[in-house]
Each structure stands twice: as C-alpha cells, then as structure tokens.
Amino acid sequence: MSETKHLADKAIVVTGSGRGIGRTIALEVAKAGGNVVVNDLDRDVAEEVVAEIKALGVDAVANTDSVGDWEGANKMVTQAVDNFGKVSGVINNAGNLRDVIFHKMTQEDWDMVINVHLKGSFNVSRAAATHFRNQESGVCVHMTSTSGLIGNFGQANYSAAKAGIAALSKSIALDMQRYNVRSNCIAPFAWSRMTASIPAETPDQIERVEKLKKMVPEKVGIVAAALCSDKAAHITGQIFAVRMNEIFLMSQSRPVRSTHCGDGWTIDRIFETAMPQLESHFYPLDRSQDVFTWDPV
C-alpha cells in the first residue's frame, strides 16, 4: 500500500533545489504530492528537476532568481501563487561556502555567505509571510548547521549565518504563531555539491569528508517534507539534526548555572568567586565532529 500523499494540493518553494540536498528535498515533497517551485541559478539543472517531478504526477516550475535579491525572492513566491494558486511553504536550502581561516577572511568572503544563507532565508520567508498571514497557514523550514550550533574551523562566515538562521526561525515561529504559521530548522549531515568544497588535506579533514560522503541527502529530504505536512502542525520553533537514519532534537540556549553577589561585583570578586563557581560548566572549544563522534547509522 502506498503512503498517504501528505502534501497533496500544497505548493512548496524549495531554494537551491537543482542539485544535492535541495534536489532530494524537492523530489521528496513531490513524492508526498506537493507541487514545487524548483529554484536554482542554473536553469538547465532546475528544468531537469522539474521534469523528474512531473514524471511523478505532480506539477513543478523552474525559477532562477537569487535568494539574496529581495525582488528575486518575491518573484519565486509569486510564481508559486501564479502557477499553483497559493504558497503553502518555503524550504530555505540555498547555500554557498567560502571557507577560510578567520584572520584571512575578506569582506567579500563574509558578505557572499551571509547574503545567500541568512539574508536569503529572510528574503524568501518574508516574501511568503504576507501570503501566510492572509491565508492563516504556512510553514518555513530552514537549513542551519552544526557548524553554527556547535562550531567548526575556518567557517566564521558560514557559522554566523547558520546560527543566525536558527534565531531567525525562532523569531518567525514566535511572530507568526497567531496566524498558524510554523517555522523549524534542520541541520543536515550529507554529501553535496556545496560540501564537496570542504578542504580535505589534513588527516582530520580527510576523515571528516569520508564520513560525509557516506551520508546521502535523501535522508534529509524526507524530514524536510515531513515538517511541511499537516501532521507537523504542532511542531514549531524546533531545531533538528539529520544524519543518515538518525534524527536529533538539538538544544537551544538556556541558563545552565548562576551565581550572585548581594553587594555587587568587583573585578577581584568576579575571579575569586563567580568564575570558580561557573567554570565547571564552561563549554570546551569543540567542533561538530567532537560532539558527533560515532559513525552515522
């Protein structure tokens, strides 16, 4: 017996969906019955995905606008409404990498990554927000990363953007809850066109890349599609990580230890009393691979 078409009659914008994780997300949305705006800067690859989706018996249209452009983001949302009669959700997947150690990072390295990841996620979500408010329904799914949630070398631009996306998602969830709009994040572990640019020179880097190559993007796509379904109507403001067949609920910042001084703090008191009390709960300078130390399953 075939699975229920959980996204039947829905129209989903998937950014950066010509290849990699985005392509598999678009295909999983289509397999669940959803119509898709396939966004990619390369029209040829976007049209290829459109053809794959139409072969599944649902509709799709190609879009080549940049998520970093305000007008472009609005065009892709308008394209969904014009072709499918509505926009039911957006999946902010488009991304890029400009990895470089911080003291060598240029303004261009910073701006290019922030513009696509963080500004792009804002642009597309904001473009859809007016439609969501008017129809009193909608869903946003954003791609964050453990590089931002935990940390990694040489990715200050990417990490900052991805941490910002987590905060953006929470803000959307809070602001739009009254309109039955929900917003969640996925931190994906998967090999893709983007992660193929990760340096693999040192033994540590080579080991990390080899692990990534084992993690297929289809595992991420099905979770993104599930979060767009009506079965996820009660799920909002959450951050999930997906690694092969594992789904993790990620923590969000909360106080872990406190101390106080009734007479007020001085510098000496801070280091005599406060820091010794708090240090046992300090976080180490760990990275994603230091936390996820076991092989994917």
Residues labelled catalytic? 158
Alpha helices, H only, 187-254:
203-213, 218-228
Q: Is 243 helix (H, G, I), strand (E, B) or coil?
A: strand
- Sequence length of the chain is 297
> By C-alpha distance, which of 32, 35, 28, 40 is closest to 12?
35
Between CA 213 and CA 193 the distance in angstroms is 11
Burial (CB < 10 A; 0-12, 13-18, 19+), residue 48, is middle
Structure tokens at 213: 């190559």
Residue 206 CA from chain centroid, whole number: 24
